[in-house]
Amino acid sequence: MQATAPEPTLPTLHRASPAGAKPNPGLTPIMLNHAAWVTHDVAATADFYTRIMGMELASTVLDDSIPSTGDDIPYFHIFFRMQDGSTLAFFEAPGVPAPAKSTHPAYDIFNHIALQAKNREEVMKWYEWLKSNGIDVIGPTDHKGLILSIYFHDPAGVRLEITTPLDTEWNRHTDKGYEDLKLWVECKEKAKREGRDVPKALIELITGLRKRYD
Ligand SMILES: [Fe+2]
């Protein structure tokens, strides 16, 4: 009898912790403190986030080495504050070359940060405001009734999203989340075991699941 490969046991596919895993002692981050990127023009960045995005210049740090790693990279670090106290931050470091180009457009589309607006009307107000400042804006896009979003870029090329929930429970679809995660990972593992093309198997899965929304 031919032995079949055991099903993979991946802890994140299930709510329950795997046997022997330590339970989380009640540690969940409270909020976004900051997300940070490199800019090559901190003046343009400061103008964009204060004037266009209406955020407050919250804090700055100048140093000639990185405290966490000890790397000798002189830099100017700047933070901009949103209404809830969370911030977006940037570093300008002299002599740092431009980043390498992405290997696939997906990186430039998927890597982004979304900032929340009050409601649909406010998203449209953002749309008009950004356009009136000559900024290219994509959208508004209704994401399957979950959220409504517009997309644009800051002067450093960071992809930004202004979004508002259309479904008040948009970030509480945990059961469906675990189901989707399991389907996705198991589809990949199964295709690998069977020597099938993994992207093709995943596209078939997506095509099947799309019917949910049609
Ligand atoms: Fe997003």
Band (2; pLDDT cuts 50, 70, 90):
very low
What pLDDT was estimated at residue 4? 52
12 assigned to some structural domain: no
Band (151; pLDDT cuts 50, 70, 90):
very high
- Which domain does 207 fall in, by range? 173-214
Indicate the number of domains in the chain: 3
Cα(101) to centroid of ligand 1, in Å? 21
Same domain? For 80 and 110 the reply is no
Cα(114) to centroid of ligand 1, in Å? 5
The mean pLDDT of the chain is 92
**Could you tell me which residue, 210 or 159, shows the higher pLDDT?**
159
22 assigned to some structural domain: no
111 assigned to some structural domain: yes
* Mean pLDDT of all residues in 202-209: 95
Same domain? For 39 and 76 the reply is yes
Question: Which domain CATH number covers 113?
Answer: 3.10.180.10
pTM listed for this prediction: 0.88
Q: Which of 61, 58, 60 is nearest to 80 (CA)?
A: 58
Cα(35) to centroid of ligand 1, in Å? 15
Same domain? For 86 and 60 the reply is yes
Cα(110) to centroid of ligand 1, in Å? 8
